[in-house]
Amino acid sequence: MQVYGTELAGRFLLGTALYPSPAVMQEAFRASKAAVATVSVRREGAGSGAGMVFWQIIAGLGIPVLPNTAGCHSVKEAVITAHMARELFDTRWIKLEVIGNSDTLQPDPFGLVEAARILTGDGFQVFPYMTEDLVLADRLLDAGCEVLMPWGAPIGTGLGLLNRYALRSLRAHFPDVPMVIDAGLGLPSQAAEAMEMGFDAVLLNTAVAKAGDPVAMARAFALAIEAGVLARAADPIEPRDMAAPSTPVLGKAFLA
């Protein structure tokens, strides 16, 4: 998978929040073989003290970092946070979140497009967290985004892929655009399904970090993502309304 000209080592993007301890987080990342670590700039806070310790742990993972603008509810707030992230993490990548509803954490489509246009103009490589909306996707691509990150379900719910029809339509409408399912996954089977549908990667946090055993869950998601990629490449059979015998009847003996 390539994003903005960078080839990633895998298709699993994993968040760094909510773990019981930094040690568990590190173990979970090792088990996941994640290709990218996402990190909240707000949680990182400062470049010294506890914030610096946390950044050193993240840097020690040895994988690219994708900072995000989590918790931002306005264009101005998201743009300022993105500039802080670029200075702090020395990367042009930014996972852009502009939240429009506090209960569902649904993105604000109007603010998202505006912020994306500003940030791409400022030299950022934007990864927009979005709903599964074709028109919104088109506007974000026009704004300069080269990657799309539609949600499976609201953040932290674990509900999986709620709107399969819209997700399949989005994937089919933009076949050449890298797409990452971002948020709402709760089970490895849901990640496998996303890959079987043709998405390029998945991004999640809560499903691993809040599991009873985050390390085991991280490995489970890694295996599911691999299985989904292999299944997609194997050209699965189409669903049928009628049964089809796996054993041919030609040559079978019939008793009179």
Q: Which tens digits make up the pLDDT trace of 199-245?
A: 999 999 999 999 999 999 999 999 999 999 999 999 999 988 988 88
- Which DSSP state fits 2? E
What is the rounded CA–CA span in Å between residue 71 and residue 42?
A: 8
pLDDT reported for residue 147: 98
Position with higher pLDDT, 160 vs 48: 160
**Average pLDDT of the residues in 146-159:** 97
pLDDT reported for residue 245: 81
pLDDT reported for residue 26: 96
**Average pLDDT of the residues in 141-164:** 97
Phi-psi region of 33 (alpha: psi -120 to 50; beta: other; left: phi over 0): left
Is-contact 132 170, C-beta < 8 A?
Answer: yes
pLDDT reported for residue 85: 94
| pTM of model > 0.85 | yes
Is-contact 64 37, C-beta < 8 A?
Answer: yes
pLDDT reported for residue 252: 66
Give residues with Cβ within 8 angstroms of 139, minimum separation 6: 109, 113
Sheet holding 180-182, edge to edge: 149-150, 125-130, 93-96, 65-68, 36-40, 12-15, 201-204, 180-182
What is the rounded CA–CA span in Å between residue 169 and residue 138?
A: 13
Tens of pLDDT, residue by residue over 121-148, are 999 999 999 999 999 999 999 999 999 9
Known catalytic residue at 95: yes
pLDDT reported for residue 52: 73
Q: Which residue segments constitute the domains of the chain, with CATH numbers given?
A: 2-234 (3.20.20.70)
Could you say which of 33, 76, 95, 210 is catalytic? 95
Is-contact 99 78, C-beta < 8 A?
Answer: no
For the cut 60, the answer to whether the pLDDT of residue 169 exceeds it is: yes
pLDDT reported for residue 159: 97
Annotated binding site for 1-deoxy-D-xylulose 5-phosphate: 156, 183-184, 205-206
Annotated binding site: 156, 183-184, 205-206
Give residues with Cβ within 8 angstroms of 41, minimum separation 6: 67, 68, 69, 70, 81, 84, 85, 88
- Which DSSP state fits 179? B
pLDDT reported for residue 56: 87
- Which DSSP state fits 255? -
Give residues with Cβ within 8 angstroms of 189, minimum separation 6: 224
* Partner residues linked to 107 by β-bridges: 99
